[in-house]
Structure 1
């Protein structure tokens, strides 16, 4: 009897990612086909003004509509609602959330899948930290400092069972992801990947989800944050984290 392989739905929210989108999609396809991961890619396009939707449509013509699904939205509606709409279109047994700006490499998707199969964890999180961390590549001092401060703050407030609570690059069991989305409701304060990563991590801990980790190397984004906005970024994260803490 042939064992049924689980399908992995990769949610890729996009806004003005026409340059990185072909590269990200190609690496997803290469990584998954090489490691025999049965996948579908759900691109949630937030009405970009740089032609990202047209690029996605061309890619759909290359990879096929059964492999690449497009959710074209009529405005920039935000990251959380993009994940909700992506989940509604996804058919997979597992959900992977992947940034579209190529700060996280798609090559780790098979590693997330393998770790889930080995541990049966509800969530498999990527980690730039931990005992066997791979860290970051090409980040400025300001970016490294931001990340460290946010991670320390999250640990102080929540004592999470994650070494990298601000990373949104994770694999979820489908039903767990749906439960987390329902628990978070309309998370308007989660306007960035790291904010949303923390919100999901806090909700997962309150639901007693089991978690495993995979070490990854994060990369410099195509459009990088400048160091002079580091303080503002940390401030916004602190407001978001304290808000989550008070709502517990």
Structure 2
């Protein structure tokens, strides 16, 4: 039985959007009256992210927010390591601080867990009939190449390894030693979660409201090479 869902939000220079995503989280009603635990890790932002978070936390005491910050910028993966370690819910989900993913779809990811089928659920941007913003062709090709290479190493058949929306059984993910501090988190956690004995991994279709670089998108081609390195290191070399 799930009593609490921990929502881990890594944040770096998201002063323009983080209060908006928190509004969405506040409005979401989880099935079976599951409680929400919001864990924000500010990865040494240089804009007004911290002030925005603290102001929101003060003005919205009915939304339980646990706030942590890094004194030096370490990367998204490092922020997730901190947030995962602090989670107290039976399950946790990763939520970016921008508006690319819709928290109203949490219940869709929870369904395979609540019905007793899944321990881990990935939200795929490449399946289902939900809205998807049309943006970068080469990003899509790169994502599919990375997902395919990852699947070859893990023997999974995921359609979207790089997705933000990953729902984990908390005690399982907390017992995995994670090392990648930046965007290598996604292939590393996928490779390591796939090796957990008898783990049950599911995938559901989600919406995707992607951003352009002008709107704040941060991932670039260098991160793609790091992902390839991480798949090789944690997947291929461990086969």
TM-score when scaled to structure 2?
0.86
Q: Distance in 2 between matches of 1:160 and 1:117?
A: 22
Q: Distance in 1 between matches of 2:63 and 2:129?
A: 35
Structure 1 gaps, min length 5: none
Local SS of the residue matching 1:137: coil
Unaligned runs of at least 5 residues, structure 2: none
CA deviations 1:51-82 (Å, max 9, x no partner) are: 10110001101222861110122111233332
SS of 1:149's partner is helix
Q: Deviations over 1:209-245 (max 9, x none)?
A: 111222112221232369xx54x44333222221222
Offset of residue 21 of structure 1: 0.1
Q: Deviations over 1:122-169 (max 9, x none)?
A: 111111234x36473132222222222222222233322422222231
Cross-structure match for 1:191: 182
Change in 2 beyond 3 A, CA 1:156/1:71: same
Q: Tell me, in whole angstroms, the C-alpha distance in 2 between the residues paired with 1:237 and 1:66.
A: 34
2: CA distance between counterparts of 1:137 and 1:66? 29
Report what 2:231 is aligned to: 241
Structure-2 residue corresponding to 1:22: 19
| Structure in which a larger fraction of residues adopt helix | 1
Distance 1:97 1:66, change over 3 A: same
1:73-125 C-alpha deviation (Å, 9 max, x unpaired): 21112333322322333221111111222222212112222231013411111
2:164 to 168, 171, 188: 168
CA distance in 2, matches of 1:34, 1:60: 24
TM-score normalised by length of structure 1: 0.83
Aligned to 1:217: 207
Q: Which residue of 2 aligns with 1:202?
A: 191
Q: CA RMSD in A?
A: 2.5
Contact kept, 8 Å, 1:168 with 1:196, in 2: the verdict is: no
User: Equivalents in 1 of 2:238, 2:75: separation in Å?
Assistant: 21
1:10 equivalent in structure 2: 7
SS of residue matched to 2:144: helix
Equivalences, count: 234
Query: Given the superposition, is the C-alpha separation of residues 33 and 86 from structure 1 closer, same or farther in structure 2, using an over 3 Å criterion?
Result: same
With over 3 angstroms needed to count, the CA separation of the structure-2 counterparts of 1:143 and 1:80, relative to structure 1, is closer
Contact 1:35-1:110 within 8 A present in 2 as well = no
**How many angstroms apart in 1 are the aligned matches of 2:7 and 2:16?**
19
The 1:133–1:119 alpha-carbon spacing in structure 2 relative to 1, beyond 3 Å, is farther
Tell whether 2:72 aligns with 1:75. Answer: yes
Structure 1 segments, 4+ long, off by >6 Å, are none
SS at match of 2:3: coil
Cα distance change of structure 1 residues 133 and 123 upon mapping to structure 2, 3 Å threshold? farther
